Structure 1
Amino acid sequence: MKLLLAVIDGCKPSMLERAVQRGEAPVIEAVLERGSFVPELCAAFPSVTPVCATSIATGVLQDRHRIAAMNWWSRAEGRYVEYGSSFKAARKLGIARQLTDTVYNLNGVHLDPDTPTVYESLDDAGVRTAGTTYLVYRGRHEHQISRETALTRLAGTLFRRSVMGPRELFYADIFASRETGCRSQLGLPGIRDQHSGCVASWLAARDLYDFLLLSLPDNDTWSHKNGPHAQPTSIAAADRQLARVADAVGGVERLLDTHAVIICADHSHAAVERRLELRPAFEDWAVVGPGASAVEEAEIAICPNQRAAMIYVLGDTDRAAAVPRIVATAQDVAGVDVLAWMQDGRGVVRAPGRGELRFAPGGDLRDARGNAWSVDGDLGALSAATGDGTFDSPDYPDALRRVWAALTCATAGDVLLSAGPGYEFPDFGGADHVGGGSHGSLHRSDSLGALAYCGVQPPPGRGPGAWSITDVAPMVRAHFGAD
């Protein structure tokens, strides 16, 4: 049986349920009728798309895949890496650089070469793979730049190198393994879902895949602008692209007879009401640009990631002395909810007004996924409770595992920040989503996305509170016997 993995970017479980109840998502409804619904699929932290998309594609968190954030500081190159927070941020850091990082470097340089993607695993197993525009596309098949239209030939002046992807790769209009007649206007928001649906239905009608990743990112753009409670409209639009695939194979029932289906979010969305400005609080520090100190003179780098942020200690600055000063400064900024850093081989989590908690893998406590931890300090830092040998933090789901992976990621900052409900860090271009929705934090409001599946088996032991986006790739691999 084939497998269709549809990733609806930022899909909030309650909003998916509302779209189904209204009769606006009939394909998703059919999947739910045949299969299962998980309303608490936990994202990575920071719960931003590059980190989460990579975790879906690999089945691991960033301590292994190394994609630390949407915006991070490359110690190796001495520069900011930016995967597309906004057009304003891209202009500030350099549009060509931002596009090169997103299109080429994320897959070809930054993603750990020893961590296989689901495409690579399935390609190695002889499965016919296919994918529409998704941040993580690395596979075993080489693809040249498309020359299909005048627009793509113009884009070819910047994008000149081939890439390795699934057998059938369609990435905006830049890479297209076949001439389908589908156009994305180089990945224009609002057009991306339609392009994915066009390509997927074309492939389905011609039986050109066994595994297809159908990327549906426009729900995220819509939610950023209109807020999470506007999602039923964009979820219904995503469902229409699923319907195109179903129509190409003979209808919804035929689709579900011939395909296992996984529909998942990479994260969720929370309403944003206020900006959370970090730079003014660090005016006494030498902060590396843009528009600030040169690399040679800088003490720290500040990387905003929507509802999360990372601060790096740079150069010859004494980390042991700098980290406590950074924490003391950041914890007094209104809207900072949780701070995390490493100290003496242990993770430290501090929540202003709620206390400080220290933790490390191994110990007497088990989380919902069965991982063992040693914990001491104030459980209130994560609004947590212990009992019968378990650690539970409902407001900060899978907190210990997520924070540990973030802190031990080789490319992560020295101090990580999570914004409180209603707050967002503006990006380098000054853009924010006040009045709309955003994500990135450790909090459940933007960490718990939707999952629906049928025709495929879940990993063992995945009850309430135990589901993670890292479970998706193992489900796909197991379906094809590639695990």
Structure 2
Amino acid sequence: MGLFLLMILIVVFGCQRQEITHKEQDLVRVKSINGEDKKKVILLVVDSLMAQAIDKGIAQKELPTIQFLIEHGQYSKDMVSSFPTMSVTIDSSLLTGRYPDGHRVPGLTWYSTKEKKLINYGTGPMEVIKHGVDPVLFDALVNLNGSHLNQQLPTIYEDLARRGMKSGSINGLIYRGTVDHTLTIPPWIQVPTSLPKTIPVKGPDYLALGSLSDPLEGIKKLPDGLTDRMGLNNQFSISTVNYLVKENKLPDFLYVYLPDLDQKIHKNGPSNQNGMKELDRQLQSLLQSFGSPEEALNQAIFIIVGDSGMTQILPARDNPVIDLPSLFNDYKLLRQGESITDETEIVLAVNETMAYVYKLKADKLKDIAYLLKEEPRIDFIAWKEQEWIYAIQGKTSKEIRFKTNGKLIDPYQQKWVIEQDAEVLDLKIDSQHHTLNYGQYPDVLQRLSGALHSHPGEFLVVTAKPGYELADRNSPTHKGGGGHGSLGQSESLIPLIVSGTDQKPQYLRIIDLKSFLLKLLTK
């Protein structure tokens, strides 16, 4: 779901070109001042990249560039993503080193008790229209980086700036830094909304965000029109990096977002290989911009990572969509586009295969959880009560509760107290040695805790069984395609390729990448 912005811009408004009058100074300030001998670090985040696609492509000899990087580096298939497995939350975790309890971006959509409104960064065209284009754009372009992302928690861009190092972001959704930039809003978006012509933002030294912020405007023609999704595409990202390389203007750290693969897999499912060969060619172009692949590894460290996996959603004939409103016939639900009233009892925030269910009235969360567990396609329902987190398994009614600071130690050296049925979250407990290991839900205790402590309010976390997805009245669905959001392995485990160094992250989790990157850059 990394293309939330383009869905709004293209589907709702169409596209016109505009003259951008604001000229950024990025190219003046972006080049590393640490000398030519210091390796640069280029992080390429490939939306919905999965190990099975890499392995299949290499076996069929269709991915020579990725194979080269693996043969000259390290390849891991089981890095753990954030939760919910949605791009804005994952990117926030990657760039801050924390799960949502730290960075405060709970999902692509969530309910703010402070503002008494549903926050939606752009889940799908129909939902955006119902919710209101104006608030969606304002939350996505102004509030996400400006106020929703925890202001007290530094991003890697802010940490690097304090160390006197240069950084850049190309098409990244989360980009908060210390340098002043301006997003330029086209007139055809300004007219039907309350957005100003320009929006001041803070970012890294170099900030590119499609046609909203293109420091190469007037210098290099990049694909940023209607058919090119306003610049939110792989070619825009790769062409920008290639320019910086050839002009000797690489910063110390460069984040590059490659979104194209996600759309294909959502439509056709995770087994679809379309897009992998094109990705490989684009990566080859990047390595060649240094002169040769070998020279690229002499000058830079390349890190390629997915953001989330996907689950194959069953075809329409198998009834894969769980219509959440139909489960709350006895409650007054907030309907999309409406405002909260004194009568509103339940608010739904659906993130594909995961959802937040907010309770605004006096019913106990456990009572609502017991209502939902009767739906056989729901995997489990979780909530918090004081220091405890509870989870109940759909249909079986098996329960578990857990909290921190116990005697059981997991593979990440986190300590837990666990009571009742460990099977609910597929935990493997060795009581004799005081250890626990995770099964089909990687790092589930910390990730679930992170989501349940990510923002104020009384709410449930609901997940769908593999093959199914949750939906509100106008939610986008992916029957026969791919979906993500949940905690299962297929949606949570992502590949990591590191080339140009023998260093490794302490743990294979998305939240451990930031400290790894800082170590590479400051050693």
Q: TM-score category by the smaller chain?
A: over 0.9
Name the counterpart of 2:244: 203
Residue number among 212, 227, 231 corresponding to 1:174 in the alignment = 212
1:438 aligns with 2:476: no
Q: Unpaired segments of 5 or more residues in structure 2?
A: 1-38, 315-319
Name the counterpart of 2:301: 260
Deviates more, 1:184-193 or 1:45-54: 184-193
Name the counterpart of 1:344: 386
Name the counterpart of 2:435: 390
One-letter identity of the residue aligned with 1:409: S
SS at match of 2:449: helix
1:455, distance to aligned residue in structure 2 (A): 2.9
Name the counterpart of 1:310: 356
CA contact (8 A) 1:304 1:428 kept: no
CA distance in 2, matches of 1:13, 1:331: 33
Residue number among 455, 459, 469 corresponding to 1:410 in the alignment = 455
1:393, distance to aligned residue in structure 2 (A): 2.4
Deviates more, 1:419-428 or 1:66-75: 419-428
CA distance in 1, matches of 2:63, 2:513: 22
One-letter identity of the residue aligned with 1:86: G
Question: Mapping of 1:54-453 within 5 angstroms?
Answer: 54-146=92-184, 152=186, 154-155=188-189, 158=195, 160-179=198-217, 180-185=220-225, 188=229, 192-208=233-249, 209-230=251-272, 232-273=273-314, 274-290=320-336, 294-314=340-360, 317-318=361-362, 321-352=363-394, 353=396, 355-387=398-430, 388-411=433-456, 414-453=459-498
CA distance in 2, matches of 1:413, 1:234: 41
**Aligned residue pairs, count:** 468
1:81, distance to aligned residue in structure 2 (A): 0.8
CA contact (8 A) 2:313 2:478 kept: yes
RMSD: 2.0
One-letter identity of the residue aligned with 1:36: Q
SS at match of 1:392: strand
SS at match of 1:219: helix
One-letter identity of the residue aligned with 1:380: E
CA distance in 1, matches of 2:198, 2:149: 20
Kindly tell me: are residues 38 and 408 of structure 1, through their superposed partners in 2, closer, same or farther at Cα, counting changes over 3 Å? same
Identity across matched positions, percent: 28
Deviates more, 1:384-393 or 1:57-66: 384-393
Kindly tell me: are residues 146 and 431 of structure 1, through their superposed partners in 2, closer, same or farther at Cα, counting changes over 3 Å? closer
Kindly tell me: are residues 121 and 375 of structure 1, through their superposed partners in 2, closer, same or farther at Cα, counting changes over 3 Å? same
Deviations 1:19-41 (A, max 9, x none): 22223322221221111111111
1:294, distance to aligned residue in structure 2 (A): 4.1
TM-score between the two structures when normalised by the length of structure 2: 0.85
CA contact (8 A) 1:308 1:416 kept: yes
Deviates more, 1:421-430 or 1:78-87: 421-430
CA contact (8 A) 1:337 1:418 kept: yes
Name the counterpart of 1:26: 64
CA contact (8 A) 2:181 2:207 kept: yes
CA distance in 2, matches of 1:397, 1:294: 36
Q: Unpaired segments of 5 or more residues in structure 1?
A: none
Kindly tell me: are residues 23 and 412 of structure 1, through their superposed partners in 2, closer, same or farther at Cα, counting changes over 3 Å? farther
CA distance in 2, matches of 1:428, 1:144: 36
Deviations 1:45-78 (A, max 9, x none): 2111111111111111000000001110111111
CA distance in 2, matches of 1:131, 1:20: 29
CA distance in 2, matches of 1:328, 1:341: 12
CA distance in 2, matches of 1:305, 1:430: 9
Deviations 1:407-449 (A, max 9, x none): 1112576100111010011255242011100101111121111
